Chain A
Amino acid sequence: MRLSISNRRAALKGCATLIAVTVAGITLAAQTIQINGAGATFPNPIYSKWFDEYGKAHSNIRINYQSVGSGAGIRQIQAQTVFFGATDGPMTNEQLQQAPGKILHFPTVLGAVVPVYNIPNVTAELKFSGPVLADIFLGKVTRWNDAAIAKLNPGVTLPPTDITVVHRSDGSGTTYIWVDYLSKTSPEFLKKVGVNTAVNWPTGVGGKGNEGVSGLVRQTPGSFGYVELIYALQNKIAYGSVENMAGESVKASVQSVTAAANEAASKMPADFRVSITNAPGKGVYPISSFTWLLMYESPKDKAQAKAMVDFMKWALSDGQKYCGDLGYAPLPESVVKLELAALAKVRSS
Chain B
Amino acid sequence: MSEPLQASPLSVMWRKALSSAFVAFCAASVVIALVPLGFVLFFVVTQGMRAVNLPFFLQLPKPVGEAGGGMANAIVGTLLVSGLAALMAIPIGIGSGIYMSEYSGTRVASLIRFAADTLNGVPSIVIGVFAYGVAVLPFKQFSALAGGFALGMMMIPIIARTTEELLLLVPESMREGALALGATRARAVFSVVVPAALPGIITGIVLALARIAGETAPLLFTSFNNRFFNTDLRQPISTLTVQVFTYAISPYDDWHRQAWAGALVLVTIVLVCSLLARFATRRLERMQARG
**Interface residues, chain A, CB within 8 Å of chain B?**
1, 3-4, 7, 15, 18, 21-22, 24-26, 28-29, 34, 36, 38, 44-45, 48-49, 51-52, 62, 64-67, 79-82, 207-209, 211-212, 214-215, 218, 230-231, 234-235, 237, 326
Known: A18-B83, A66-B224, A81-B142. A215 touches B233 (CB 8 A): no
- Which residues from A are CB-within-8-Å of B226? 64
Partner of B251 from the list A7, A21, A81, A215 (CB cut-off 8 Å) is: A215
- Which residues from B are CB-within-8-Å of A326? 65
- Which residues from A are CB-within-8-Å of B225? 64, 66
Q: Does B171 contact A (CB under 8 A)?
A: no
Q: Is the CB of A29 within 8 A of B191?
A: no
- Stretch from B38-46, B98-106, B133-141, B271-279 forming part of the interface with A: B133-141
Most buried by A among B62, B87, B232, B233: B232
CA distance A28 to B230 in the complex (A): 10
- Which residues from A are CB-within-8-Å of B234? 26, 29
Partner of B235 from the list A24, A34, A49 (CB cut-off 8 Å) is: A34
With A18-B83, A212-B249 given, can you name 6 additional A-B contacts, CB distance below 8 Å? Answer: A24-B231, A25-B231, A49-B64, A64-B235, A66-B236, A209-B249
Q: Is the CB of A18 within 8 A of B87?
A: yes
Q: Can you pick out 13 interface pairs between chain A and chain B where the beta carbons lie within 8 Å of each other? A: A1-B191, A18-B87, A29-B235, A34-B232, A64-B225, A64-B236, A79-B137, A80-B140, A215-B250, A234-B65, A234-B252, A235-B251, A326-B65
Binary contact readout B227-262 vs A (1 if CB under 8 angstroms, 0 otherwise): 110111111100000000010011110000000000
- Which residues from A are CB-within-8-Å of B83? 18
CB distance from B61 to the nearest CB of A (A): 9
Which residue of B has the minimal Cβ distance to A36?
B236
CB distance from A284 to the nearest CB of B (A): 27
* Chain B interface, >50% SS class: loop
CA distance A44 to B137 in the complex (A): 25
Q: Does B195 contact A (CB under 8 A)?
A: yes
Q: Does B190 contact A (CB under 8 A)?
A: yes
Q: Does B194 contact A (CB under 8 A)?
A: yes
Q: Is the CB of B235 within 8 A of A235?
A: no
CB distance from B218 to the nearest CB of A (A): 16
Q: Is the CB of A81 within 8 A of B136?
A: yes
CA distance A67 to B198 in the complex (A): 45
Q: Is the CB of B232 within 8 A of A211?
A: no
Q: Does B182 contact A (CB under 8 A)?
A: no
CA distance A160 to B142 in the complex (A): 49
Binary contact readout B81-121 vs A (1 if CB under 8 angstroms, 0 otherwise): 00100010000000000000000000000000000000000
CA distance A67 to B227 in the complex (A): 11
Q: Is the CB of A45 within 8 A of B249?
A: no
Partner of B190 from the list A4, A45, A52, A67 (CB cut-off 8 Å) is: A4
Known: A26-B232, A214-B251, A234-B252. A79 touches B63 (CB 8 A): no
CA distance A13 to B228 in the complex (A): 28
- Which residues from B are CB-within-8-Å of A62? 228
- Which residues from B are CB-within-8-Å of A49? 63-64
Partner of B198 from the list A3, A29, A65 (CB cut-off 8 Å) is: A3
